[in-house]
Structure 1
Amino acid sequence: MANKLYQDLDHSRYIQEDDDGETWRSPYRKDYARVIHSPSFRRQQGKTQIFPGHESDFFRNRLTHSLEVAQISESIACMLNAKDPFLRENPIDPRICFTAAHLHDIGHPPFGHNGEEALDECMRAVGGFEGNAQTLRIITQLEKKRYKADVPNAIERRAGLNLTYRTLASVLKYDTQIATDRSKANKVQKGYYECDREIVDDIKKAVCPGVDFSERKFKSVECQIMDCADDIAYSTYDIEDTFKAGFLTPSKILTFDQDVMVEVAKEVSERVEDPDFTANNVTEIFLDLFSEFVLPPEDLSPGEDDSKAEELLMSLSYQQELDLLALDGNLRTSFTSYLVGRFISGVRIEIDESLPQLSKVSIEPKTLREIEVLKNFTYLATIRSNRVAVSEFRGKDIVKAIFEALDGEKGRLLLPADYQELYDAAWNDETRKRVICDFVAGMTDRYAIEFWSRLYSDSGETIFKPL
């Protein structure tokens, strides 16, 4: 007989709590409530997704992105429950997937991946920095919801939101401990911090009791669903934002610089493990997706004849029809909705009957190619464009300058009172740097700019405004 999808210890917590008579509310619903009422969740509204929030109230930020990922995660869980015979009897709890999506980006520092790189460079000799690792740290330590009893040290007594182990498992994307000394590293390493290894071990023991993870990686089914939903949201909503911003139109995409298309093809080829994937395949996928809304002439199918394709793309009338997908608000949102539905339907699950909680969730190959094309093209054509790069470059310098000031002589005096207490309780330089890193990582983009201005600019804020 197959094992259960959920174990008895899944809903246990690091610090055990009474249910206060709330038999009407499951432990996972309590987790969700704690997440959406937490400051870290709210701060995502001040962190950039692609375009700075002050540029337009249309563009996504980290908070609205997380809400969209949550809806997709829940939809995937419900779809799999309905389609798979095992899950019809042992359903995935959509609430855990929903909560995981709300959590998945709270560890991101100000200014997105540039801020992440900046903090990692500042921390490489003492454990590094990584957004997913920081998410785990925030919910297990930094949030001010629960404390351990009879623990005098200000650092060690923190217990964060004290979520259930199954919810914690849903955000543990990378079962790899980040190297403590990464002085010679040149990029961010995915994983969890060495100082958080104990909580990771506790999560594994609760979700998969008695399992030896020396030969396999740990990633819960809910975490995999959230990961698929994140890719779907990233690939669809980000390109909608670029359409709205005027950075791209469908006709521009289909006639884009060939060097970029080659680079996109290279990235997608590695991700989908298809060495024969080419720049022509990138164009074909876009033409196929656009054709669901703007049909090409009947005598032309994607990739059939290069000369015909060039003739089609040179047709002004066809370009104008295509570009309505970007210019017409109704068509634009309908196109995005179509893509989300198309990609959700491509999610699959392979039940592991010996460990159902680690069953493999994946995206079927054709859909994965489409998602990866959209993701990588948006990144290369927009996020790495000079207009966006200028803003992000400044952000990286701001984060590093703040960290260096706080880590300098008498830098502790620049910290808020609660962080000064943590800094003074630290037992070595590594722990003190981690306290500084936690403070900077929790900043929104606007707060980081304001803090930097108070340190370095002639037009800094008044001293009467609290830090």
Structure 2
Amino acid sequence: MSVGMAAPREPYACDPGRSRGRLVDEPPARTRSPFRRDCDRVIHSTAFRRLKYKTQVFVFHEGDHYRTRLTHSLEVAQIARALARRLGLDEDLTEALALAHDLGHPPFGHAGERALDECLKAHGGFDHNAQTLHVITALEHRYPDFDGLNLTWESLEGIVKHNGPLTNKAGGPVGRHRDRGIPPGIAEYNRIYDLELWSHASLEAQVAAISDDIAYDAHDIDDGLRAGLFSIDDLKVMPLTAEIIADIAGRYPDLDDIRRGAELVRELISFLIDAVVAETRRRLDAAKPASADDVRKHDGALVGLPSEAAEAEAMIKIFLKERMYRHPRVMLVMGQAESVLFDLFARYQQSPHDLPAEWMPPDGEGAGSETGRARRIGNFIAGMTDRFALTEHQRLFASTPDLR
């Protein structure tokens, strides 16, 4: 098979012709598979467009060349499609999941998520994955017959379970949900439309999840270099990046640092993609799944990195955490960003009439439960872009941090 050619779809891939369908039944599209239709709906959603002005690491106005949630999602989709093609999976479903995975992220990246989680602590907390599900099943208002995007079951389960099962078969929370329980938004929706939270997701979803990690590693190195938070030579403390840097120096001894950094990022992505393909094929050969349902019932993830590459990838994450995410400059800006969201949440709770008319509690300020009102405010804030949050803060408060 020629390089770049699509592999035949394997029996363990999700088959659009055998989709479990949609919560609200719709006639099939004339020219698109159900999964291609899902992907197109994500691309045309309002929430997807808003990712353009949502922080990845650097607030949008700190520079035009840093990643945003939108460019991050596009890079995840590119990596995910490459993996899906080589593994014989459904590329449309894989792309839909990669593009949708961050739709629930609030403004200001993980700082915004921490702030909203604290604001909603007494009301179930905030989880960006649960928020993504809420966006695509309720908050998008584009279609005459339903709220949300009415995506296929396979897309919904992939969005909710791409990092693994949320419960055991008895319904008890597992993994990172063991201490706090299943996020309310996921638990409530699962009672309406059973996403089988106890099982693994499809290979397409597992590919989207690992592509997110690969994209983070590569583009955060690129953005960190561009921002001057560390140098290429600083990356030599890790064996994998040191080996790649040495190889680049051997091939291009006079290359400038900008091109050296770009070549490093390309080689790192290629290395990790190749490692995922090799390890996933090894696991598939051992498990021999004959269908997508066999993948779901397997006792572990089938997409992954071999141990040596996984250790190298973990070292990159540790480096980025220490040298980038916890850099004093980044921490200062993110601390100020958290204060913006704390201020907005408190103001809307105290003065609901400061909310836009469509977000005000129904039938006046006192209607509904306290939890219902708080989560309504959380939904509004989570949908904000960085710049809209700052504009709202400027409208409602005498002083707003510059976040630079």
Contact map agreement 1:97 1:225 (CA 8 A) in 2:
yes
- Counterpart CA distance in 2 for 1:27 and 1:98 is 13
2:349–2:377 Cα contact (<8 Å) kept: yes
- Out of 146, 152, 163, the position equivalent to 2:151 is 163
Q: Alpha-carbon deviations, 1:183-205, whole Å to 9, x = none?
A: xxxx9988853243253356555
1:415 equivalent among 347, 355, 359: 355
Residues matched between the structures, number: 366
Contact 1:129 / 1:188 at 8 angstroms: preserved in 2?
no
Find 1:293's aligned residue among 248, 252, 255: 248
Q: Is the contact between residue 14 and residue 202 of structure 2 (CA under 8 Å) also seen in structure 1? A: no
Quickly say closer, same or farther: Cα 1:371–1:459, change in 2 above 3 A.
closer
One-letter code aligned to 2:244: L
Offset at residue 133 of structure 1 (A): 1.1
Give the TM-score, by structure 2 length: 0.82
> Do 2:248 and 2:263's aligned partners in 1 also have CA atoms closer than 8 Å?
no
**Cα separation, 2, equivalents of 1:119 and 1:423:** 25
Change beyond 3 A, Cα 1:192–1:34: farther
CA contact (8 A) 2:119 2:345 kept: yes
Cα 1:74–1:204 shift into 2, 3 Å: farther
Counterpart of 1:284 in structure 2 is 239
Cα offset, 1:63, TM superposition: 0.3
Change (3 A) 1:166 1:397: same
Segments ≥4 residues shifted beyond 6 Å? 187-191
- 1:49·1:62 contact (CA, 8 Å) conserved in 2? yes
**Structure 1: tracts of 5 or more residues without a match:** 82-91, 149-157, 178-186, 255-281, 297-320, 461-467
Please point out which of 115, 122, 125 is paired with 2:122: 125
Q: CA contact under 8 A between 1:130 and 1:189: conserved in structure 2?
A: no
Matched residue, 2:108 = 111
The AA in structure 1 aligned to 2:344 is I
**Corresponding residue for 1:140?**
137
* 1:227 corresponds to: 209
CA distance in 2, matches of 1:188, 1:106: 24
Which residue of 323, 326, 346 corresponds with 2:275? 346
Q: How far off its partner does 1:70 sit? A: 0.2
Deviations 1:366-393 (A, max 9, x none): 2222222222211210111101111100
Query: What letter corresponds to residue 94 of structure 1 in structure 2?
Result: E
- Say if 1:97 and 1:170, in contact at 8 Å, map to a contact too: no
Q: Is the 8 A contact 1:406 1:414 kept in 2?
A: yes
CA contact (8 A) 1:126 1:430 kept: yes
Deviates most, 285-294 or 43-52: 285-294
Question: In 2 relative to 1, CA 7–31 (structure 1 residues): closer, same or farther, beyond 3 Å?
Answer: closer
- Aligned equivalents of 1:418 and 1:364: distance in 2? 50
**Counterpart for residue 16 of structure 1:** 25
The answer (yes or no) to whether the contact 1:132–1:192 under 8 Å persists in 2 is: no
Equivalent residue, structure 1, for 2:391: 450
Which of 327, 337, 357 is equivalent to 1:395? 337
d(CA) in 1 for partners of 2:363 and 2:101?
A: 27
In structure 2, C-alpha distance between the alignment counterparts of 1:43 and 1:192, rounded to whole Å: 27
Percent pairwise identity: 33
* Aligned residues of 1:6 and 1:357 also touching (Cα < 8 A): no
**How far apart are 1:328 and its partner, in Å?**
3.3
Partner in structure 1 of residue 228 of structure 2: 246
Tell me the C-alpha RMSD between the 2 structures. Answer: 3.0
The equivalent position to 2:265 in structure 1, one of 312, 332, 336, is: 336
Contact 1:35 1:41 in 2 (8 A): yes
Q: TM-score, normalised by structure 1?
A: 0.71
- Residue 146 of structure 1: CA displacement? 3.8
**Contact preservation (8 Å) 1:412, 1:420:** yes
Asked if 1 retains the 8 angstrom alpha-carbon contact of 2:244 and 2:267, the reply is no
Shift of the 456–5 alpha-carbon distance from structure 1 to 2, 3 Å rule, reads: closer
**CA displacement at 1:292 relative to structure 2:** 2.1
Query: Given the alignment of the two structures, is residue 378 of structure 1 paired with residue 320 of structure 2, yes or no?
Result: yes
> Aligned ranges for residues 181-200 of structure 1 at < 5 Å?
193-200=183-190
Q: Secondary structure at the match of 1:449?
A: helix
In the TM superposition, what whole-angstrom CA distance separates every residue of 1:299-352 from its partner, at most 9, and x where no partner exists? xxxxxxxxxxxxxxxxxxxxxx6xx87x53333222211111110011133343
Do the aligned partners of residues 194 and 11 (structure 1) sit closer, same or farther apart at CA in structure 2, a change above 3 Å counting? same
Change in 2 beyond 3 A, CA 1:404/1:251: same
Aligned to 1:41: 48
